[in-house]
Amino acid sequence: MGAMDHIRNIVILTGAGISAESGLRTFRADDGLWEDHPVEQVATLQGFHRDPDLVQRFYDERRAQVMAANPNPAHLALGRLDMAWKPSRNRGELLIVTQNIDDLHERGGAARVLHMHGEALSAWCTMCDARHRWTGSLRGAPPCPACGQAALRPDIVWFGEMPYQMDRIYRAIGNCDLFVSIGTSGAVYPAAGFVQEAGRVGAGTLELNLEESLGSRFFSETRLGKASEIVPAWVEEMLAS
Ligand code: APR
């Protein structure tokens, strides 16, 4: 009976660090996005009301960067794990909860992905509540394809707004045997509090990050390194267990 045999259900939290090697900037590094884009201007509802064109331009740029980026070995490894880790294969449930707005997990082969902070390639109509796959610009107030109103905004959870599907996330954490955090600084709640939730239900907690994070002390194990190297190594371990 190996140490990992009891692990059935896994929740994996990812942050900007997993996409850094795909060329997408993180937020809080020296060259992070928040260094040259004041959060209150581009990532709050108040900022959007104050200057919608500034905000739409900011997310147009990020949308273009996401489309130009490609999954890296960390995304591909999680795609392999997602395909193999199923109850039908004598494993358990798996859920990737990402704070990232890029679609690199899905393009890396993962299906069970939950975007708690929204998606760059999605536009949300604040009049009819419809969501639309969006790859172009949102500047100039294009009409909503469903209701025709000029009320589209980036489908992004801004500071001060409630992240998506929190019930589903807490249910998955409540049932997990292993909680893994990849490429996140632990600076933003509620995501930064998930490790303690997992600890409370007796789950194992593993952190994979380039450097110590604000939440490292809450993890039973921390492995430091680049996601493109340490994530595939961890996935091989899981699939060999
Ligand atoms: N491999 C692994 N980890 C990395 C790599 C890499 N190649 N590059 C950077 N990291 C780590 C950094 O050490 C840092 O701990 O990724 C983390 C990135 O932290 P942040 O920039 O703070 O990004 P994140 O934690 O995802 O931010 C959370 O804050 O700004 C909001 O909504 C935004 O979703 C975002 C949330």
Q: Round to whole Å and give the CA distance between 186 and 28.
A: 11
Q: What is the pLDDT of residue 239?
A: 95
Query: What is the mean predicted confidence (pLDDT) over 15-31?
Result: 91
Distances (CA, A) of 198 to 102, 175, 232: 25, 9, 23
Q: Round to whole Å and give the CA distance between 36 and 27.
A: 10
Q: Answer whether 26 contacts ligand 1 (Cβ < 6 A).
A: yes
Q: Round to whole Å and give the CA distance between 21 and 207.
A: 18
* Minimum-distance ligand 1 atom for the alpha carbon of 39: 30
Q: Answer whether 213 contacts ligand 1 (Cβ < 6 A).
A: yes
Residue type, 139: R
Burial of 24-44, coded b for 16+ CB within 10 Å and e otherwise, reads: bbbbebeeebeeebeeeebbb
Give the confidence band of 2 by pLDDT, cuts at 50, 70, 90. Answer: low
Query: What is the mean predicted confidence (pLDDT) over 34-57?
Result: 92
Q: Answer whether 24 contacts ligand 1 (Cβ < 6 A).
A: no
Percent of the chain beyond pLDDT 70?
A: 98
pLDDT digits (tens, 9 = 90+) for 106-135: 999 999 999 999 999 999 999 999 999 999
Query: What is the mean predicted confidence (pLDDT) over 74-89?
Result: 94
Residue of the CA atom closest to atom 5 of ligand 1:
17
Angle of helix 73-84 versus helix 227-240 axis, rounded to 10: 20
Is the pLDDT at 176 greater than 60? The verdict is yes
Pick from 18, 22, 27 the residue to mutate for probing ligand 1's pocket: most ligand atoms within 8 Å of its CB: 27
Is the pLDDT at 3 greater than 70? The verdict is no
Is the pLDDT at 1 greater than 50? The verdict is no
Is the pLDDT at 42 greater than 70? The verdict is yes
pLDDT digits (tens, 9 = 90+) for 186-237: 999 999 999 999 999 999 999 999 999 999 999 999 999 999 999 999 999 9
Mean pLDDT for all residues in the chain: 95
**Residues taking part in catalysis:** 117
